[in-house]
Structure formats: C-alpha cells, structure tokens
C-alpha cells in the first residue's frame, strides 16, 4: 500500500538515463527503492565518419521508455502515474550539441565515442596545463574552430545530451557540476567553471570566426540538491503525448552517467570509487589531493557535489565480447543446440573462468573505437597468439574478458603506481557484471583490490539520477548528499565482495606484458 500511495499522491521520484545502448526510466518510492522501470533499446550510428544519435531518436527514446514505465506502473500497482515529487535526467557525458540563437542544431550530435579532436585536445592541454581529453565538449568546440567549420560563428549555446533533454523538458539551459566537468575544467573551490581557463580560451579564439565568449554559451551550473527547473506544459507533451502526466514536477540538475554511477554505488567519499562497465568502461576514484602531474590517460572531473575525481575512461568494453558470444550462439543454432541468451553467456563465462590465468598466450584487443589511453586513433578488434600458445575456447573467452578491463588497467596503474592513490573500496556496476564470474574476479585482479557488487547495481544510472532527484526533494535542507546516501539509501544494503587471488594477479600481469608489447600491432592495424 505504501508504494501505491507514493504513486497516487505523487511522492515517488523519476530518473531517466540515456545510456549507450539503452534509455531507461526508473520510478523510485519514498523509501528510495525502485518500484518500476521502462526501457528503450537504441544504438549509435556512424554517419559520415561521426558517431551520433539523431535528435528524433533521442525524443523517441524519451517517449518510449517513459510510456513503458507508465504502462508497467499501472500493470503492477493498478494506478496511473500522473505526477511525481522530483525528476532527473542523466546521459552519456561529454560530446558536442551546438545550437544557434533560434535553437536549431548546427551539426549532428558528436558523441563521446568520436576521436576526431586530437589537435584541439593537445593544444588545450598545453594551454591550460590540465588534461583535456578528446571526447570533452570543449575539445569538440575548439576543433571545430581550428577546422574553420562554417557553423562556429553561429554557436549561441552548447551542452551535453543530459543538458539537452533537460532543456527540452524544462526550458532551462542548466547542468549539474559533474556533467559540466566533462565539458570544461571545474574550479574545485568555486564548484564552477575555471575562470582563468575560460579567459585563456577566449584569448586562444580571438580573431577567429568564433566571436562568442565561452561563458555566454556554456550551460549554467546548478548545485546538487537544488531545483533546476520544472516540467513545462510543452515538456509534458513531449514526455507524454497522451497528456496523462502533469506539468510542474521539479527537476534536479541534469547529470552525467559517471556521476549517477557514483550515486548508485555510494562512492562519493575520498578513497572510494566505482567502475562502470558496459559499452565503454570507466573508473571514478575520489581524490584526497590534487594529482602531482598532468596525465593524458587520466581525466579530472567531479562527484555530483563537486569533489575532484580521477577518471580513467576507455571507449570500448563489452561490444567485442558480445560479438563473439553472438557468433558462438550462431554456431550452436546451426548445430541444432540453440541456447537462450542468458544461458549462453553463463556457459561461455564458465569456460572463461576455467581458462589459464594468463590465457595461454591468447591476446585480445576489443577496440571498436580509438583509445586515447593507449594512443590508438581508430578501432580494429584484433586477436593474436604465438604458434605455441594454448588456443582453447576457455583461453579465448578468458582473453576476451581480460580485454574488457585491460586498457582501464593501464590508466589505473598510473594512479596507483605513480600517484600513489590508495584504494579502500571499489564498487562495480554495469552490463559486464550481469554474470559476475569471472568478470568481478578479473577486475579485482586487474586493480589489485576488493570489488563489491551491490544488490542495487543492476538498476544503474537511472536509479542514481532518481536518487539525486530524491535528494533535491528532501525536507532536511541541511543534509549533505553523503549523509543522505549513507543514512537514507544504503544503510544495511547488502553486496557481494570478491578479493583478488594471487594466481589471477600473476595471470593478468603476464597477459598485460604481452598486451602492452602487442599494442604496436593494434596501432598498425588501425592505421591501415
């Protein structure tokens, strides 16, 4: 009855996250537990050499997943979802959505997956003495300026995918500090865009066709826990064309998927962190102090409440593994032994768990896109082995699992070995861990620390942004985000933890020696 009352009386909150392969909506009750969800599956497309999603598809994903949520709520609880206490939008960080003064999109959405901004990223990193990765919004803007693209003189506003959807629903050109930290560097003291770096950017672009001041076209940062606008009548029609859902719902600041992952795993305190693994993989480690040097492999972003975070982001994770699983599924189907998808993954993951710790000399690169961490400019999935390698199905599958975390390990080794960052607890979530053995064990060995999967991990970022919406709707305005998560959400919540074994540590160490040596072959393949 409590759940029904939450829905009927508008006490529940809603979160929607636009992930790489799925748009998901989650309804969360007053006890912060998920009540129902809705989904829409989608894929990016490579159009004229650019990884993109059309804005029509963005709107379709929004409407379809929300309609699915409304249908499931009515089916499960017998009441219609017509209002809520709070709402939040999350999406893939970074990328480039640029609009003119009339609100028209100037060029197709350029997602985080593109590696076309090397020149801009290098020049901005040098000018700022701060690492600017290729996927950051400011790198895309500056590359367009360097390329003298015709649209740059008309840019009146640019934002992220979460910022765009939030604007579509509320009319507010705003953003959360975490998502903003993937657009432009943040001053950790002010919890706002770094003023000195903004001034330096304006100096770099003086005399070009880009005549706007950077501060005039970036979205305004709204602090976590504050209201960032309300659902307008026009936004309500876009969200729910049937007209059932009411306007006026308050929205929390839109956030990036990295930040909602941190909220969903309660890893916003120093010496904690999380790993999100799906189409891409990234680690977020909350820092106690600034890094001693600029590392091109490591981004400095923020938590949802503005604390500095070291982020190691890799563009490719599960896509190649999934492709091999599908191929083996096709073989079984042709042989008359078709298996359901879940059982097929369990079977192949079980074979991987029994493979040699070093994969018998079978090495896999899962690169579907360029990987700035290892300096490759485009993706070419590759498997190689020596003639005397032990080429078995178990070793092949184990190598494919290793490949999902190998590039991440290269970046994380810099944090732990060079920067001496101590790790106390790492939470993991994402599609890679739907079958936790051996992926959870492999990640523990790669990072050399305990890895915990919370029971809530499967809810992902949609639940995370719903929690940020619930925090905005809280009655105790003095309560910090950390206290809210610790006391109101995660108190007593159970999880499963694995520790790295010495045999796995030694195995992945041997694997990584060959992996690093073979990067020259991967780069050569990518150049052809």
Structural domain boundaries enclosing 390: 264-455+494-528
Reported pTM: 0.85
| Residue 52 maps to a domain | no
What average pLDDT does range 505-521 have in this prediction?
Answer: 97
- Residue 382 pLDDT more than 70? yes
Q: Is residue 312 part of a domain?
A: yes
The pLDDT of residue 184: 98
* 481 has a pLDDT exceeding 70: yes
- Domain membership flag for residue 14: no
- Distances in Å between the Cα of 243 and the Cα atoms of 77, 102, 164, 228, 235 are 20, 27, 22, 23, 11
Q: Are the C-beta atoms of 369 and 319 separated by less than 8 Å?
A: no
Is pLDDT of 459 > 70? no
Which regions of 315-377 does DSSP assign to beta strands (E)?
363-365
pLDDT digits (tens, 9 = 90+) for 168-216: 999 999 999 999 999 999 999 999 999 999 999 999 999 999 999 999 9
Confirm whether 175 is domain-assigned.
no
3-state secondary structure 381-445: CEEECCCCCCCCHHHHHHHHHHHHHHHHHHHHHHHHHHCCCCCCEEEEECHHHCCHHHHHHHHHH
**347, two tokens:** 């079977």
The burial class, CB within 10 Å (0-12 / 13-18 / 19+), for 291 is middle
Which two structure tokens, joined as six digits, stand for 442? Answer: 């492999």
291 and 255 in contact (C-beta within 8 Å)? no
Tell me whether residue 41 is in a domain.
no
- Report the distance separating Cα 407 and Cα 314, nearest Å: 7
Q: Is residue 399 part of a domain?
A: yes
The reply to whether 380 falls in a domain is yes
Question: Among 170-179, 425-434, 470-479, 496-505, which stretch is predicted with the lowest mean pLDDT?
Answer: 425-434
- For the chain, the domain total comes to 1
Provide the 8-state DSSP code for 512: H
The pLDDT tens digits of the residues spanning 31-86 come to 999 999 999 999 999 999 999 999 999 999 999 999 999 999 999 999 999 999 99
Nearest to 266 by CA among 486, 492, 470: 486
* pLDDT band at residue 457 using 50, 70 and 90 as cut-offs: low
The model's pLDDT over 306-344, given as tens digits with 9 standing for 90+, comes to 999 999 999 999 999 999 999 999 999 999 999 999 999
Residue with tokens 């799925």: 22
230 is a domain residue: no
HEC string of 232-256 equals CHHHHHHHCCCCCCCCCCEECCCEE
For position 449, which CATH number holds?
Answer: 3.30.420.40
């Amino acid at each position: 009855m409590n759940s029904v009352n939450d829905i009927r009386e508008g006490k529940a909150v809603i979160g929607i996250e636009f992930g790489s392969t799925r748009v998901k909506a989650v309804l969360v009750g007053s006890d912060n537990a998920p009540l129902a969800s809705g989904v829409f599956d989608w894929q990016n497309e490579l159009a004229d050499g650019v990884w993109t999603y059309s804005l029509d598809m963005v709107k379709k994903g929004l409407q379809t997943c929300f309609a699915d949520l409304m249908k499931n709520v009515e089916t499960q609880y017998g009441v219609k979802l017509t209002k809520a206490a709070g709402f939040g939008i999350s999406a893939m960080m970074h990328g480039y959505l640029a609009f003119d003064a009339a609100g028209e999109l100037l060029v197709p959405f350029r997602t985080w997956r593109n590696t076309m901004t090397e020149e801009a990223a290098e020049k901005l990193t040098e000018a700022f003495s701060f690492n600017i990765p290729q996927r950051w919004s400011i790198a895309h803007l500056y590359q367009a300026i360097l390329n003298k693209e015709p649209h740059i003189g008309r840019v009146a506003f640019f934002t992220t995918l979460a910022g765009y959807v939030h604007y579509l629903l509320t009319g507010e050109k705003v953003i959360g500090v975490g998502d903003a930290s993937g657009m432009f560097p943040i001053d950790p003291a002010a919890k706002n865009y770094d003023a000195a770096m903004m001034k330096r950017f304006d100096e770099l672009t003086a005399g070009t066709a880009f005549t706007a001041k950077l501060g005039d076209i970036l979205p305004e940062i709204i602090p976590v826990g504050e209201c960032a606008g309300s659902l307008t009548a026009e936004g309500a029609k876009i969200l729910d064309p049937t007209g059932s859902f009411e306007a006026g719902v308050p929205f929390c600041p839109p956030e990036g998927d990295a930040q909602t992952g941190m909220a969903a795993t309660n890893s916003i305190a120093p010496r904690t962190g999380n790993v999100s693994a799906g189409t891409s993989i990234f680690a977020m480690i909350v820092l106690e102090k600034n890094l001693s040097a600029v590392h091109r492999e490591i981004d400095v972003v923020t938590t949802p409440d503005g604390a500095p975070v070291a982020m190691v982001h890799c563009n490719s994770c599960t896509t190649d593994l999934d492709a091999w699983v599908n191929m083996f599924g096709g073989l079984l189907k042709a042989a008359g032994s078709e298996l359901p998808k879940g059982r097929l993954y369990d079977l192949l993951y079980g074979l991987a768990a029994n493979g040699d710790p070093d994969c018998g000399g079978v090495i896999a690169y899962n690169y579907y896109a360029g990987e700035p961490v290892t300096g490759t400019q485009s993706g070419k999935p590759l498997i190689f082995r020596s003639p005397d390698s032990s080429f078995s199905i178990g070793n092949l599958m184990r190598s494919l699992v290793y490949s999902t975390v190998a590039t991440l390990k290269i970046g994380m080794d810099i944090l732990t070995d060079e920067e001496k960052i101590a790790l106390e607890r790492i939470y993991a979530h994402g599609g890679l861990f739907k079958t936790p053995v051996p992926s959870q064990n492999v990640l523990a060995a790669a990072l050399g620390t305990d890895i915990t999967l919370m029971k809530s991990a499967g809810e992902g970022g949609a639940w995370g942004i719903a929690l940020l919406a619930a925090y905005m709707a809280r009655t105790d305005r003095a309560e910090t985000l950390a206290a809210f998560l610790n006391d109101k959400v995660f108190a007593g919540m159970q999880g499963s933890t694995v520790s790295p074994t010495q045999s796995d540590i030694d195995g992945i160490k041997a694997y990584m020696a060959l992996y690093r040596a073979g990067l020259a072959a991967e780069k050569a393949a990518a150049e052809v």
